[in-house]
């Protein structure tokens, strides 16, 4: 009897501890907060290479508001730059207008181990948890390429950032009927996206 109780207690301890082992980290683009399903690690500003440059990088970064520098003196300049990401033509900016810079939040979920962004959907497959959903956005097709990024549906803006600059622009993405079947796709509708964890 004592052995059975000890085994049951051990199983309970393992189950409770395994819920905290591992986890997954994702970035909620276009929002400074994390959903209730996760914990915020830090928040910051979306940044990338300006649309004016063909070099640099194509991915977006979530830059903290309080950077640390290793050197106290200037280093080498002029090789690569990060610019804030601006909403070029947003549908729903919480703070009213385009040309606002976009925030971001890095979130963690301790009880799940996989993260997935699905373009063209607002719901997750069964057995997956929806962290957030919104719009698929990228640089304009007339500029240098960037990544497709899932921006939160509310498209929060950073206060005090209004005013167009040579930023990494965020434009809504529509489907082309060249290679994608229309319908169900439409060249006049903004594509959605969802971020899921499991």
User: Which pLDDT tens digit goes with each residue over 105-124?
Assistant: 999 999 999 999 999 999 99
> Across all residues in the chain, what is the average pLDDT?
79
Q: Given CA atoms 119, 125, 128, 130 in this order, what sign does their dihedral have?
A: positive
Indicate the domain borders of the chain: 19-57+81-197
What backbone torsions phi and psi does residue 77 show, to the nearest 5 degrees? -115, 160
- Would you give the distance in Å from CA 19 to the centre of its chain? 25
pLDDT tens per residue across span 22-70: 799 999 999 999 999 899 999 999 988 766 666 556 788 999 999 887 7
Asked, as a colleague might, if the bond just before 166 is cis with ω within 30 of 0, I would say no
pTM of the model: 0.78
DSSP 99-110: SPBPEEEEEEET
């Amino acid at each position: 009897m004592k052995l059975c109780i000890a085994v049951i207690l051990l199983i309970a301890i393992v189950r409770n501890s395994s819920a905290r082992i591992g986890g997954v980290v994702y970035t909620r683009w276009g929002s400074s907060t994390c959903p209730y399903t996760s914990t915020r690690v830090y928040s910051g500003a979306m940044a990338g290479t300006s649309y004016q440059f063909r070099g640099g990088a194509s991915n977006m970064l979530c830059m903290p508001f309080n950077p640390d520098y290793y050197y106290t003196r200037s280093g080498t300049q002029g090789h690569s730059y990060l610019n804030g990401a601006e909403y070029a033509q947003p549908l729903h900016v919480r703070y009213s207008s385009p040309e606002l810079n976009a925030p971001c939040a890095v979130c963690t979920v301790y009880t799940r181990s996989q993260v997935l962004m699905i373009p063209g959907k607002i719901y997750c497959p069964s057995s997956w948890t929806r962290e957030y959903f919104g719009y698929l956005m990228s640089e304009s097709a007339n500029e240098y390429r960037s990544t497709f990024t899932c921006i939160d549906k509310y498209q929060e803006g950073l206060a005090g950032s209004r005013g167009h600059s040579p930023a990494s622009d965020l434009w809504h993405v529509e489907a082309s009927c060249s290679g994608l079947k229309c319908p169900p796709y439409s060249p006049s509708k903004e594509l959605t996206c969802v971020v899921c964890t499991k």
